[in-house]
Amino acid sequence: MPKLKQDTILPTSEEDLILTKAAGEDQNNPELADEFIRKMKPVKEVLPNIPPRVRGRQKKPVKQQITIRLDADIIDYFKLPEKRQNI
Domains of the chain by residue range:
14-51
Q: How high is the pLDDT of residue 38?
A: 94
How would you label 49-83 residue by residue, b for 16+ Cβ within 10 Å and e otherwise?
A: eeeeeeeeeeeeeeeeeeeeeeeeeeeeeeeeeee
Confidence of residue 1 (pLDDT cuts 50, 70, 90): low
pLDDT exceeds cutoff 80 at 82: no
Q: What is the pLDDT of residues 12-71, one digit of tens each?
A: 999 999 999 998 888 898 888 899 999 999 988 999 998 887 877 777 777 888 999 999
pTM of the model: 0.36
| Alpha helices per DSSP H over the chain | 13-25, 34-39, 43-46, 72-79, 81-84
Identity at 82, one-letter amino acid code: E
* Cβ atoms of residues 12 and 19 within 8 Å: no
Q: How high is the pLDDT of residue 54?
A: 80
